[in-house]
A and B are shown apart, each in its own frame.
Chain A
Amino acid sequence: MPETTETTPAATTPATTAADTAATATAAGPVTPAGTATPEREKARSLWSDAWHDLSRKPMFYVSGLLILFLVVIAIWPGAIASGNPLACDLSKSQMGPTSGHPFGFDTQGCDVYTRTVYGARASVSVGIFSTVGVAVLGSLLGGLAGFFGGWWDAVLSRISDIFFGIPILLGGVVFLSVVKGGTVTTVSAFMILLGWPQIARIARGAVITAKQQDYVQAAKALGASNTRMLLRHIAPNALAPIIVVATIALGTYISLEATLSFLGVGLKPPAVSWGIDISQASDQIRNAPHMLLWPAGALSITVLAFIMLGDAVRDALDPKLR
């Protein structure tokens, strides 16, 4: 196997001496058969476009991608598929099963489960996205700088992230959110960024240290390149891939963490609409009205699964070991 992996990326140009190079270029990218493409026509394929090419052939990518797209759309315009108001409840319909126009039935308060499930996507998706973006930016900035400059800055930062790692996330959530007393998307996201950044920082630090030791960074240094240039032009693009992969998978876990916190009553609080809240309220009625639990819990599981699947697909496409 090692022999074939070695040869796959190689272009097949049988030309090397100055004289015959320009003349014979039967080259072809790995996909086009030899002799059918000239170098002029051949598209230059960067590793990113290679990864995209790879992704575009994976059914898992399409399934998860479409699901996520759908979720984002209904998070922005829940009204598009649910005409009702999630807070318009009628106690007389408490815990009723599905009826015409209310396919998922009603919850204890007599609210329409379908409408609430659709509207619940907004809280979940926004907490997920805000937390992930925050964690990715803060984590890669701190971790990347620590990895690049090393020294005491790195030592201090690593110890701080160790401390954050040591905090049990649920306990931390209960304490933090009961002190802040927010219970909004902002406070929950803020908490997740606060506890989540060390994970990305660690990855970013490792990726930057790996990239920093590569000969091409040394080569740039030998040319007299500045630190900024080395970081932005050489290290960052090469350290990005693992961060993207971890962040995508983390997004799913943040969504489930939001639901957990809301379930425990310290995350989002009513009248906010969230799957976690609905699951929490449904859980003690599970024998009487299992449908109340089924729909929000199902939506949550599918959402988390979609992000984890996407992360998996992205990792396969970006993993240099598979190239």
Chain B
Amino acid sequence: MTDTVKGAAPAGEPILQVRNLVKHFPLTRGIVFQKQVGAVKAVDGISFDLHRGETLGIVGESGCGKSTVAKLLMNLERATSGEVFYKGEDITRLSGRALKAVRRNIQMVFQDPYTSLNPRMTVGDIIGEPFDIHPEVAPKGDRRKRVQELLDVVGLNPEYVNRYPHQFSGGQRQRIGIARGLALNPEIIICDEPVSALDVSVQAQVVNLMEKLQDEFGLSYIFIAHDLSIVRHISDRVGVMYLGRMAEIGTDAEIYEHPTHPYTQALLSAVPVPDPQAREQRAAGADSGAAAGRGRIILSGDVPSPADPPSGCRFRTRCWKAQDRCAQEQPLLAVPEVFRGSGTPAEHESACHFAEERATAEAA
């Protein structure tokens, strides 16, 4: 299923394989005797591969389920169904000792550096905690040294071990969180919006750090974010999620330059471009119809509730191409027939019955 990936494609073999992953949060009523009255379909059948050494970006708007995917991959939430294979083993079914062993290899960096560090612990204790939990990784006498090394690796003064999180700024805290994630020498790090809570001028520092660490330690990243430009910068491949499903997935160039799913197209066109000239171009484009230029697609309405998603294609309620077929038949994530074997960058997986490239005046 990754045969469409080419060119600057990931070198390694799949290290994580996600198959039909589903997470439904039951909606219950009643206090002592609860009965289920429905379900929030946060993640509803998602499949993708993560290759060794690559960064897979996952983008989508709030409520699309991207953070739930992170929690499922970390086993912080139990999947309703589906599998996540790490080295051939389905980690969604693991528990106890076996799960603990897997956790050494898959770690996470959280979004909010203010809530992800225990305010009552020193930085040394926070970064050293992985060693307390997995004593086999570092012998006791070694730990302080290891913690200081980690601080150094993420660009913090090793003297800071005895400080508390509230004595640091957001960017520094995120570095502490990254150091904790690195402590066990994991192979995969799942980053859930790792820079979105940071100040603009600090985001670039943290992105650079993460790229540097990837090269240094051969890490594979799943990089979940809503900032499309940062995802593009760091990712080898990008998946676009909408309402619990994957709408489109491909290399960064395929997704950003040749999107074939209408949602991806709308999402990309909605991103404000930090260039005032784009405004005039877009205004001109809008006048002569969207097809003429990079006209902005303004989607109508809001994302439907994941507790009651539309039938068929999830996006059809906001899609300008929607037809009867979209309501009846769920489009599968596959290379659309029109592009199959075409050899063009449009030949990548897209879950749309009417997938087509939007004529884009090449801006960059």
Given A21-B157, A48-B120, A216-B115, verify A225-B108 contact (CB < 8 Å).
no
Which of A37-45, A78-86, A188-196 is the interface stretch?
A37-45
Pair B157/A238 contact, Cβ less than 8 Å: no
Chain B residue numbers with a CB within 8 Å of A320 are 119
Pair A215/B133 contact, Cβ less than 8 Å: no
A224 to B133, CA, bound (A): 7
Q: Is A178 part of the binding interface, using a Cβ–Cβ cutoff of 8 Å? A: no
Pair A9/B107 contact, Cβ less than 8 Å: no
Q: Is A47 part of the binding interface, using a Cβ–Cβ cutoff of 8 Å? A: yes
> How far apart are A320's CB and chain B's nearest CB, in angstroms?
8
Chain B interface residue count, Cβ-Cβ cutoff 8 angstroms: 51
A16 to B31, CA, bound (A): 50
Chain A residue numbers with a CB within 8 Å of B184 are 223
> How far apart are B35's CB and chain A's nearest CB, in angstroms?
13
Chain A, 41-62, contact with B by CB distance < 8 Å: what is the 0/1 string?
0001111101000000000000
> How far apart are A155's CB and chain B's nearest CB, in angstroms?
5
A9, A156, A215: the one within 8 Å of B112 (CB) = A215
Q: Is A181 part of the binding interface, using a Cβ–Cβ cutoff of 8 Å? A: no
Pair B122/A44 contact, Cβ less than 8 Å: yes
A13 to B115, CA, bound (A): 21
Chain B, 12-48, contact with A by CB distance < 8 Å: what is the 0/1 string?
0000000000000000000110000000000000000
Q: Quick one: closest A residue to B100, CB to CB?
A: A224
Residue among A13, A17, A50, A224 with the most chain B CB within 10 A?
A: A224
Chain A residue numbers with a CB within 8 Å of B133 are 220, 223-225, 229
Chain A, 1-24, contact with B by CB distance < 8 Å: what is the 0/1 string?
000000001110101111001100
Given A219-B180, A238-B120, verify A16-B155 contact (CB < 8 Å).
yes
Pair B110/A9 contact, Cβ less than 8 Å: no
Chain A residue numbers with a CB within 8 Å of B104 are 224
Q: Is B308 part of the binding interface, using a Cβ–Cβ cutoff of 8 Å? A: no
Given A39-B160, A48-B120, verify A11-B169 contact (CB < 8 Å).
yes
Q: Is A237 part of the binding interface, using a Cβ–Cβ cutoff of 8 Å? A: yes
Chain B, 151-165, contact with A by CB distance < 8 Å: what is the 0/1 string?
011011111101110
A238 to B338, CA, bound (A): 57
A267 to B153, CA, bound (A): 65
A233 to B128, CA, bound (A): 13
Pair B167/A21 contact, Cβ less than 8 Å: no
Q: Is A29 part of the binding interface, using a Cβ–Cβ cutoff of 8 Å? A: yes
A40 to B175, CA, bound (A): 20
Q: Is A214 part of the binding interface, using a Cβ–Cβ cutoff of 8 Å? A: yes
A17, A29, A47, A222: the one within 8 Å of B120 (CB) = A47
Chain B residue numbers with a CB within 8 Å of A224 are 99-100, 103-104, 133-134
A147 to B83, CA, bound (A): 30
Pair B117/A216 contact, Cβ less than 8 Å: yes
Chain B residue numbers with a CB within 8 Å of A45 are 164, 167
Chain A residue numbers with a CB within 8 Å of B130 are 223
Q: Quick one: closest A residue to B33, CB to CB?
A: A155
Pair A222/B171 contact, Cβ less than 8 Å: no
B32, B122, B170: the one within 8 Å of A152 (CB) = B32
> How far apart are A210's CB and chain B's nearest CB, in angstroms?
11
A-B CB contacts (within 8 Å), total count: 122
Q: Quick one: closest A residue to B75, CB to CB?
A: A222
A66 to B36, CA, bound (A): 56
Chain A, 228-245, contact with B by CB distance < 8 Å: what is the 0/1 string?
010001100110000000
Residue among A40, A221, A222 with the most chain B CB within 10 A?
A: A222
Given A9-B166, A18-B155, verify A218-B120 contact (CB < 8 Å).
no
> How far apart are B289's CB and chain A's nearest CB, in angstroms?
44
B108, B119, B157, B160: the one within 8 Å of A222 (CB) = B108
A17 to B208, CA, bound (A): 10
Given A44-B162, A224-B134, verify A29-B115 contact (CB < 8 Å).
no
A218 to B110, CA, bound (A): 9
Pair B32/A223 contact, Cβ less than 8 Å: no
Q: Is B62 part of the binding interface, using a Cβ–Cβ cutoff of 8 Å? A: no
Pair B205/A17 contact, Cβ less than 8 Å: yes
Chain A residue numbers with a CB within 8 Å of B120 are 46-48, 237-238
Q: Is A141 part of the binding interface, using a Cβ–Cβ cutoff of 8 Å? A: no
Q: Quick one: closest A residue to B212, CB to CB?
A: A18
Chain A residue numbers with a CB within 8 Å of B32 are 152, 155-156, 159
Chain A residue numbers with a CB within 8 Å of B122 are 44, 46
A9 to B114, CA, bound (A): 11
B117, B132, B205: the one within 8 Å of A16 (CB) = B205
A203 to B2, CA, bound (A): 52
A158 to B110, CA, bound (A): 32
Pair A21/B115 contact, Cβ less than 8 Å: no
Q: Quick one: closest A residue to B202, CB to CB?
A: A16
Chain A, 106-136, contact with B by CB distance < 8 Å: what is the 0/1 string?
0000000000000000000000000000000
Q: Is B323 part of the binding interface, using a Cβ–Cβ cutoff of 8 Å? A: no
Pair B129/A223 contact, Cβ less than 8 Å: yes
Given A222-B76, A224-B99, verify A29-B118 contact (CB < 8 Å).
no
Chain B residue numbers with a CB within 8 Å of A10 are 167-170
A79 to B181, CA, bound (A): 61
Chain A, 152-174, contact with B by CB distance < 8 Å: what is the 0/1 string?
10011011000000000000000
Q: Is B74 part of the binding interface, using a Cβ–Cβ cutoff of 8 Å? A: yes
Q: Is A25 part of the binding interface, using a Cβ–Cβ cutoff of 8 Å? A: yes
Query: B residues 76-134 with Cβ under 8 Å of A?
Result: 76, 99-100, 103-104, 107-108, 110-112, 115-122, 129-130, 132-134
A45 to B180, CA, bound (A): 21
Given A219-B108, A219-B116, verify A16-B168 contact (CB < 8 Å).
no
Given A11-B163, A47-B166, output 4 extra A-B contacts at Cβ < 8 Å: A10-B167, A21-B155, A44-B167, A238-B120
**Interface pairs (8), CB distance under 8 Å:** A10-B169, A21-B155, A39-B157, A50-B166, A219-B108, A222-B76, A223-B130, A238-B120
* Nearest 6 CB-CB pairings of A with B: A215-B116, A224-B100, A10-B169, A44-B162, A18-B155, A224-B103
